[in-house]
Structure 1
Amino acid sequence: MEKSKNTTLIVLAFFSIYVIWGSTYLLNKIAVSELPPFMLAAIRFISAGSLIFVLCKIMGISTKISKRQLLNTTLAGFLFLSFGNGVVVWALRFVDSGFAALQISAQPLVVLLLMRILQNKKIQPMSIVGVVLGIIGIYLLVGQKEIVSQENAVWGMIMIFLCMLSWAYCSLFVAKADLPANYFVNTGYQMFLGGVILLLGSLLFGEQWSMPGDWSPKVQGAMLLLIVFGSIVAFTSFNYLLKSVSPEKVATSTYVNPIIALVLGWYFLEEQITLQSMIAAGILLTGVYFINTKKKMLLFSRFQNKGASALDTESNGKPQGFKE
């Protein structure tokens, strides 16, 4: 029963980081059209973190943490949210939401390389196939339009790439760091502290703040969805998955997010989805399968020792797709 419950939670958590996070590109694009980027992100995360602490109080969940955990959640909040998300929101002023999502789709490749460099993990064939398919799919999508179409687009792409590195590194850090055991509390601290850092950054850059009553209805709605679903639900799911499955599996969300972003762009902004887009989407999702699957490829199984599988998750808990 416990195993079935955990499986259900993992499936729901993946749905959150796949679908809900895929929608945040559109929501951020809508909100940043009127609001300064760091102000937007600061309000989003401080509000979400505060709501989480209120819910913890109501449910009787202790929010006490050690000094070490406070330091780690502050670092994670900065890498994931202050820099990793806040700067992406800034970049959305110069690149469209679909392209931002596509660029960030390279994150699983970065995670694999960082695990190789920092943890001396050997990349296995199944993961390599998945990454290659993902890159091909991204290339097909990006190749349909002019990449640099407006002023400062190059700077936007560079900063998004740095944000991607920040997320990839922090994904590995969080997987092993001493953090609050309760995923809700862990998310609350990362959200609130990351939001405070963004608030300081907004003041430092002299952004012009405004009250929610001055925002248009569409921006108010986008902010509400970002706070409740994009922050509380999806980020709690993200932290849960980082402790429950391997980091490169969690990173596969960046393959699916662009598909969601493209569909929402087509539905709400009347953006065209071409046949090439659908083909690329299929290739991207196939890449997700190859990174996630525990089944061996017949082609590579001949090179494995009899009775052993270097492609499956090892019994000692090492991430799938790697071995020492």
Structure 2
Amino acid sequence: MGKPRNTTLIVLAFFAIYVIWGSTYLLNKIAVLELPPFMLASFRFTTAGVMIFVLARMLGIAIHVTKKQLLNTIFAGFLFLSFGNGVVVWALRYVDTGFAALEISAQPLVILLFMRVLEGKKIQPMSVVGVILGIVGIYLLVSQQQIINKENSVVGMIMIFACMLSWAYGSLFVAKADLPSNYFVNTGYQMFTGGIMLALMSLGFGEKWIAPNHWSFDVQLVMVLLIIFGSILAFTSFNYLLKVVSPEKVATSTYVNPIVAMILGWYFLKEEITLQSIVAAIVLLTGVYFINTKKTLAILERFKK
């Protein structure tokens, strides 16, 4: 009985990080056109963290953690949320949703390179092909003149790449760190502490905070979706999967996220999907596929253990 239930939970968790997270690019883009980016992200994650703690108490789930676990969740919250997500939200002011998702889709490539540099793990031949294709795909993506010529687009690209590095390192850190055993509680601490750090970043950059009753109806709706589905549900699923499967398997969400983001951006925001972007997506995601060969995944599984 336990095994089928666990399998179902894993499938649902993958759906959350594949499809729901793919839609958050659109939701963040709609919100950040009206709200300051770090204030937006801080409100989203702090609110989600508080809601998780309230739900945990209602369900009788203990939220006590050790000092080491608290410090680890704070560090993970910074890598994933304060920097890894907050700066992406900022960058969405200057780049399209599909572009941002495609650039971040190179995350498996970065995880592999991190494992090589930080842990001395050998890169398998098929993965070398994947790395080369990934680099070519990223070049095709970021070299488009119609994108480069947009105001602050290059800065946006660079900052999204930095966020991708943060998420990649965070994925490896979380896979081995001492964190709260309950994934719901783990998510709550990461979101709450990450949200507080984002609030400090917002104040540091002098952002003007806007009360929710002054937001447009569209942004109010978007924030509800971001908090409940994009934050609580999807991020809990993400933390759960990082503990039960390899970090590289979790990173395969990058196959689906860009496609979801591009379609939604095109449909709702009339964002242009160029032929070069399509070619870049094919090359880049093919590279990610080569990285995710069975031999490579076996190396990653051994690394996790």
Which of the two has higher C-alpha Rg? 1
Using the alignment, how far apart are the partners of 1:150 and 1:282 within structure 2?
24
Give yes or no for contact 1:255–1:284 (8 Å, CA) kept in 2. Answer: no
Give yes or no for contact 1:25–1:101 (8 Å, CA) kept in 2. Answer: yes
State the partner residue of 2:243.
243
- SS across alignment from 2:179: coil
Using the alignment, how far apart are the partners of 1:210 and 1:198 within structure 2?
15
The answer to whether 1:313 aligns with 2:301 is no
Question: Residue type matched to 1:313 in 2?
Answer: A
Using the alignment, how far apart are the partners of 2:85 and 2:296 within structure 1?
33
Q: Any residues of structure 2 matched to 1:147-296 within 5 Å, and which?
A: 147-271=147-271, 273=273, 286-287=286-287, 289-292=289-292, 294=294
Residues 116-156 of structure 1: per-residue CA shift (max 9 Å, x gap): 11112112234344445555555555566622132222211
Question: Residue type matched to 2:59 in 1?
Answer: M
- SS across alignment from 1:318: helix
Deviation at 1:246, TM superposition (A): 1.4
Residues 167-217 of structure 1: per-residue CA shift (max 9 Å, x gap): 111111111111001110000000000000011111122211111111111
After the TM superposition, which parts of structure 1 deviate over 3 Å for at least 4 consecutive aligned residues?
125-145, 270-294
State the partner residue of 2:29.
29
Residues 79-117 of structure 1: per-residue CA shift (max 9 Å, x gap): 110011101111111212221112112211111000111
The number of aligned residues is: 305
State the partner residue of 1:306.
none
Give yes or no for contact 1:256–1:284 (8 Å, CA) kept in 2. Answer: no
Residues 272-322 of structure 1: per-residue CA shift (max 9 Å, x gap): 55666666655555555544453xxxxxxxxxxxxxxx55637x94159xx
Using the alignment, how far apart are the partners of 1:54 and 1:146 within structure 2?
47
Question: Residue type matched to 2:298 in 1?
Answer: T
Using the alignment, how far apart are the partners of 2:32 and 2:203 within structure 1?
17
Question: Residue type matched to 1:5 in 2?
Answer: R
Question: Residue type matched to 2:242 in 1?
Answer: L
State the partner residue of 1:304.
none
- SS across alignment from 2:13: helix
TM-score under structure 2 length normalisation: 0.90
Question: Residue type matched to 2:270 in 1?
Answer: E
- SS across alignment from 1:208: coil
Using the alignment, how far apart are the partners of 1:177 and 1:255 within structure 2?
26
Give yes or no for contact 1:88–1:160 (8 Å, CA) kept in 2. Answer: yes
Residues 281 and 77 (structure 1 numbering): CA distance in 2 closer, same or farther, change over 3 Å? Answer: same
Using the alignment, how far apart are the partners of 1:271 and 1:195 within structure 2?
30
Residues 281 and 165 (structure 1 numbering): CA distance in 2 closer, same or farther, change over 3 Å? Answer: closer
Residues 145 and 98 (structure 1 numbering): CA distance in 2 closer, same or farther, change over 3 Å? Answer: farther
- SS across alignment from 2:57: helix
Question: Residue type matched to 1:179 in 2?
Answer: L
Using the alignment, how far apart are the partners of 2:278 and 2:89 within structure 1?
27
Give yes or no for contact 1:134–1:255 (8 Å, CA) kept in 2. Answer: no
Deviation at 1:57, TM superposition (A): 0.7
Gaps of 5+ in 2: none
Residues 93 and 103 (structure 1 numbering): CA distance in 2 closer, same or farther, change over 3 Å? Answer: same
Give yes or no for contact 1:76–1:174 (8 Å, CA) kept in 2. Answer: yes
Give yes or no for contact 2:37–2:90 (8 Å, CA) kept in 1. Answer: yes
Gaps of 5+ in 1: 295-309
TM-score under structure 1 length normalisation: 0.85
Q: Percent identity?
A: 73
State the partner residue of 1:91.
91
Deviation at 1:3, TM superposition (A): 3.0
State the partner residue of 2:146.
146
- SS across alignment from 1:121: coil
Using the alignment, how far apart are the partners of 2:296 and 2:159 within structure 1?
34
- SS across alignment from 2:76: helix
